[in-house]
Amino acid sequence: MEYIDILLSANFWAAAIRIATPLIFGVLGALVCERAGVLNLGIEGIFVVGAMCGWMAVWLGAGLWGGVLIAALAGAFFGLLHGILTVPLGLSQHVSGLGITMFATSVSYFAYRTALPDVSSPPRIEAFQPLDIPVLSELPFIGPALFQQTPMTFLALALVLLVSYMLYRTPLGLAIRAVGDNPSAVEAQGLPVFALRIGAIMAGSALMALGGAFLTMSAFDAFFFGMINGRGWICIALVVFASWRPGKALLGALLFGAFDAFQIRLQNEVGAVIPSQVFLMIPYLLSIVALVLVARKADYPRALLQPYFRGQR
Amino acid sequence: MPETESGHPLLSLQNITRIFGDLVANGNVNLDLYAGEIVALLGENGAGKTTLMNILFGHYVADQGRVMVRHSSGILADLEPGAPQAALEAGIGMVHQHFTLAENLTGLENIVLGTESLFSYRLNRSKARAKLQELMQSSGLEVDLDQRVSRLAVGERQRVEILKALYRDARILVLDEPTAVLTPQESNNLFITLKLLAAKGMAIIFISHKMAEVLSSSDRVAVLRKGRIVADLPTSKCDRHQLAEVMVGHSVQAAERKPGYPAGEALVFAGVSAGDGREQIENVNLALCKGEIIGLAGVSGNGQSTLAKVVSGLEKPTAGTISLHGKPLKPNAVAAIRSGIARIPEDRHHDGIVGAMSVEENLVLEEIRKPAYQRFGLLRFNEIRKRAQEAIKACDIRCSGPLAVSRLLSGGNIQKIVLARTLDQQPDIVLAAQPSRGLDVSATADVHRRLQEARDRGAGVLLISEDLDELFQLSDRIAVIHRGHICEPVETEKLDKKQVGLMMAGHSAKGEQAA
């Protein structure tokens, strides 16, 4: 069976992890924001900003890791904007988030056009190359599937552990979980509600921007219009799928990556009979189904979407 | 008694004044608190008790006056205003009426929250657990620390709140209406704990408007009325009537029990079962007559809310029939209202009014289809306004006018809106679920008076309550609900409170334990 062959090829699993990487960054970022009680629909635009800033910084000579840092800072800046609008001002998180997405996207395109007014195809940079880890990457099957990824993929996996440790093992993580559940409880214990929320949004947005940066600096080597293509929105759904847990978020991102990699290969096999759009639809369809199955029992942060005002019940 | 009591207060509130708009919430309040004593802060709803405590804890800033706390060094110093963190550090612990707990977190996590530096790399749970075990043992406050708060019962949540304060080594404990959500048994346990803590040198203030617990459990009573302290004296020198008068500002006449004149069965339950789990009711047989009040006694959570839902048409019985004037009652809330069933719901903020709507809108909600308030599907605003103005005057609803947002009114005034809306329609049946819960003396008297009026007019009233005083004062007959079973109602004269109390706890009428 050709389907089994696809699942058994190392190449397929390598592609699944590669496709999952930006989603891992994005879903972790969205998770941190929502754990603090704020939905960040700016994610799609912050992806664009990260992709644009990281790539542009490298093109201007900042070095690859410099690009990563600049992408994260740019993301944090837009996070700060979203934070100010939704936390002390208490505006609608949906409206503010969508506004951030539109604003961040257009600013990125504008900057790109201003910096490169006359080019028809964007200049390419020297992107991250797959790491050759001695021994591990030479293992049969597992080697090419898991250990021939770029450094940013390993960074994403490390961040899953880090975010998970932070949320469940540190006082800061406890405070973030509490502020997303009942800000009054946080205030009554003498902690600053606004600072915690804004900080979490900034950190989460920085993570989202890394997802964008991965696309221009690891997956591809240039910035294109429309390259984010809904990846941010997928992350918002994945957070619910993951019930706001980092481990499950990783699983969700990998599942989606696998669906996507599978459909590309399926297109080659039976593409002549079924239109390719049907295959493009599959991962999204499956994520909706997964969402319906999982999200009904999801234990969402109780103060999600609720602005906090002092002295009000 | 601890040495600090000899003229050195642990806490001193001096000339506290706080004004909201035109309302003087607190005016020149002076209150001292000594180590080892339990002070009851007594006052009606809206007297400014909670505001005062919120100033003490730094949720609000006083317009005038100072809060002074004696530090462990023995110096009485000003507390930084508007900073809960400063209050916590000064050793003040507060248990709010609406608990401030994160429900998705465990008890332990809620207690530890904010006690360690946010930037330390590790949360030290085992150390916290050891300290808490010790505290739980010495104070008798047993809690399952690793259970999520959402799975804890109300009493346990309150214990978590108190442990939060003890864990931070609080020397002053403030409790805002601590017994409002507790069963009588839980309340007793709470006061035993508080006395234990006070004996160890803690200073405790609890806010209340229940006279009985104030008299039985405090060393000193301070009474607030309209934002001012009107009395501050040792509990031993108080008596019930005198306190009630000082608190309300005039003498309160409790409604006398007057017998009704039952005539003909109105609402009849025949073998009705409904609901599931804890709130299940099983094989209920009950006949409510016109012109009588049946009191349904029971500890809440024994099926009362299911019964109320069935009568209101919000839930369909799984077996049996309910008939009104001989005709079967449709399981439909709209039909219930139209057939003359007035509903006074248990959770008046949530089910009694639409909080975001104005007083006048809430007053006509159930009658909006009547020609008096609409013509050709368009609202008749003038009529609605007129009706609201009349009701506000007749029922003494304290609000800024017909357009006031209902959510912002006090519980007593919200209840007055519900009463005006339902009882002014001259209903045949009145379903009153815990109608005076959380209300102060005068609002309670008002509720009782209106229920009696409805009964005297010929309505059948089903009064669901856990307050025995209320039940004995109003009911013509009393039935007891326990685990979904309702016993045959008995004439009030033939019962005594002790007997009913035992039946509420599951003993049968003859005194032995029911199966």
3-state secondary structure A163-192: HHHHHHHCHHHHHHHHHHHCHHHHHHCCCC
pLDDT at B51: 86
Chain A residues whose beta carbon lies within 8 Å of the beta carbon of residue B112: 171, 174
- Over 90: is that where the pLDDT of A277 sits? no
- CA B154 remoteness from chain centre: 13
Residue B4 has pLDDT above 60, yes or no: no
Extended beta strands in B386-492, E state? 429-433, 460-465, 477-482, 485-486, 490-491
Q: How far is A310 from chain B (nearest CA, A)?
A: 8
Cβ within 8 Å, pair A184-B100: yes
In Å, how far are A215, B308, B422, B434 from B416, measured between CA atoms? 63, 20, 10, 14
What pLDDT is stored for residue B432 in this prediction?
Answer: 94
Q: Which of A172, A186, A189, A193 has the most B C-beta neighbours within 10 Å, making it the best mutation to test the interface with B?
A: A189
CB contact under 8 A, B121 and A170: yes
Question: Rg of chain A over CA atoms, in angstroms?
Answer: 20
- The verdict on a CB contact (< 8 Å) between A191 and B118 is yes
The answer to whether B492 and B475 have CB atoms below 8 angstroms apart is yes
Rounded CA-CA distance B65/B61 in Å is: 10
Task: State the count of interchain CB pairs (< 8 A) between A and B.
Answer: 87
CA dist list (Å): A164 to A30, A245, B104, B188: 14, 8, 17, 43
**Looking at residues B237-243, what average pLDDT do you find?**
84
Per CB-CB distance under 8 Å, the chain A contacts of B85 are: 190-191
User: Which residues does residue B281 pair with via DSSP β-bridges, in sequence order?
Assistant: B274
> What pLDDT, on the 0 to 100 scale, is given for residue A65?
95
Give B421 or A267, the one with higher predicted confidence.
Answer: B421
Segment among A214-228, B238-252, B344-358, B460-474 with least mean pLDDT: B238-252
How far, in Å, CA of B403 to CA of A158, rounded? 57
* pLDDT, average across residues A101-127: 91
Query: Which of A225 and B440 is assigned the larger pLDDT?
Result: A225
Is residue A279 pLDDT above 90, yes or no?
Answer: no
Mark yes or no for CB contact B119/A299 under 8 Å: no
Q: Which of A43-52, A216-225, B346-355 has the lowest mean pLDDT?
A: B346-355
DSSP state letter for B237: G
Please report the pLDDT score of residue A271 as a whole number: 62
What pLDDT score was predicted for residue A311? Answer: 59
Flag if B102 and A190 touch (Cβ within 8 Å): no
What is the predicted pLDDT for the residue at B7? Answer: 64
Q: Please count the helices (runs of H) and the strands (runs of E) in chain A.
A: 13, 0
Chain B residues whose C-beta sits inside 8 Å of any chain A C-beta: 54, 59-60, 83-85, 87-89, 94, 96, 98, 100-105, 109-110, 112-123, 164
Q: pTM for the full model?
A: 0.80
Whether pLDDT at A297 is above 90: no
For B111, nearest residue in chain A (alpha carbons): A189
Q: How confident is the model at residue A304 (pLDDT cuts 50, 70, 90)?
A: very high
| Cβ contact A171–B105 (<8 Å) | no
Mean pLDDT along residues A285-295: 77
Looking at residues B333-352, what average pLDDT do you find? 88
3-class state of residue B233 by DSSP: strand
E strand or H helix at B220: strand B220-225
> What is the interface pTM, i.e. ipTM, of the complex?
0.89
How large is the average pLDDT for residues B19-25?
A: 79
* Whole-number average pLDDT of chain B: 87
Tell me the two tokens of residue A313.
């019940």
Q: Which of B97, B98, B99, B100 to mutate to test the interface with A (most CBs of A within 10 A)?
A: B100
Mean pLDDT, residues A105-110: 95
Render A80-91 in DSSP notation, one character per residue: HHHHHHHTTS--
Q: Do A313 and B98 touch (CB under 8 A)?
A: yes
Determine the Cα–Cα distance for residues A67 and A54; give it in Å rounded to an integer: 4
A186–B121 CB contact, under 8 Å: no
Look at residue A93 and tell me whether its pLDDT is greater than 80: yes
Average pLDDT over residues A139-166: 89
- Eight-class DSSP state of B226: T
pLDDT at B512: 43
The pLDDT value given to residue A56:
94
Mean pLDDT of B92-107: 91
Which conformational region is residue B268 in: left (phi greater than 0), alpha (psi within -120 to 50 degrees), or beta? beta
CB-CB under 8 Å, B98 with A185: no
- Nearest residue of B to residue A311, measured between CA atoms: B59
- Does pLDDT of B101 surpass 90? yes
State both tokens at B381. Answer: 């605003």
DSSP three-state, residue B141: coil
The residues near B36 (Cβ < 8 Å, ≥ 6 apart) are B1, B2, B4, B5, B198, B199, B201, B202, B203
Which chain A residue is nearest to residue B123, measuring alpha carbons? A170
pLDDT of amino acid B129: 95
* % of residues, chain B, pLDDT over 90: 45
Angle between helix A231-241 and A246-270 (nearest 10): 130
How large is the average pLDDT for residues A275-287? 76
Cβ contact B211:B181 at 8 Å: no
Q: Do A190 and B114 touch (CB under 8 A)?
A: yes
With the CA atoms of A112, A114, A120 and A123 taken in that order, what torsion angle do they form, in degrees rounded to the nearest 10? -50
Task: Please say if the pLDDT value at position B508 is more than 80.
Answer: no
Q: Is a pLDDT exceeding 70 seen at residue B3? A: no
Count the residues in chain B: 515
Asked whether residue A313 carries a pLDDT value surpassing 60, the answer given is no
The band of A112, judged by pLDDT with boundaries at 50, 70 and 90, is very high
Q: What's B514's DSSP letter?
A: P
Q: Is the pLDDT of residue B289 over 60?
A: yes
CA distance A256 to A252: 6
Does pLDDT of B2 surpass 60? no
Q: Do the chains contact at B103 and A169, CB–CB below 8 Å?
A: no
Residues on chain A touching B59 (C-beta within 8 angstroms): 187, 310-311
Answer yes or no: do A170 and B98 touch at CB < 8 A: no
Please identify which residue in the block is written with the tokens 């009537």.
B241
On the question of pLDDT at B253 being above 70, the answer is no
Cβ density class B267-287: b for 16+ within 10 Å, e for less: bbbeebbbbeeebbbbebebb
Name the residue type at position A258. A
Is a pLDDT exceeding 70 seen at residue B513?
no
B174 CB neighbours in chain A (<8 A) are none
Rg (CA), chain B: 25
Token pair 């749970």 is found at B125
Amino acid at B385: R
Chain A positions touching B110 (Cβ under 8 A) are 178, 185
The predicted model gives B266-284 an average pLDDT of 87
Q: B122, A170: Cβ pair inside 8 Å?
A: yes
Is pLDDT at B5 greater than 70 in this prediction?
A: no
User: Is the per-residue pLDDT at B409 higher than 80?
Assistant: yes
Q: How far apart are the first and last CA of chain B?
A: 48
At residue B58, the pLDDT reads 87
CA distance B150 to chain A (A): 11
Nearest C-alpha in B relative to A168? B123
The predicted pLDDT at position A173 comes to 96
Higher-pLDDT residue of B36, B508: B36
The confidence score (pLDDT) of residue A288 equals 80
- What average pLDDT does the structure give for chain A? 90
At CB < 8 Å, which residues of chain A contact B?
Answer: 169-175, 177-178, 181-182, 184-191, 299, 301-302, 310-311, 313
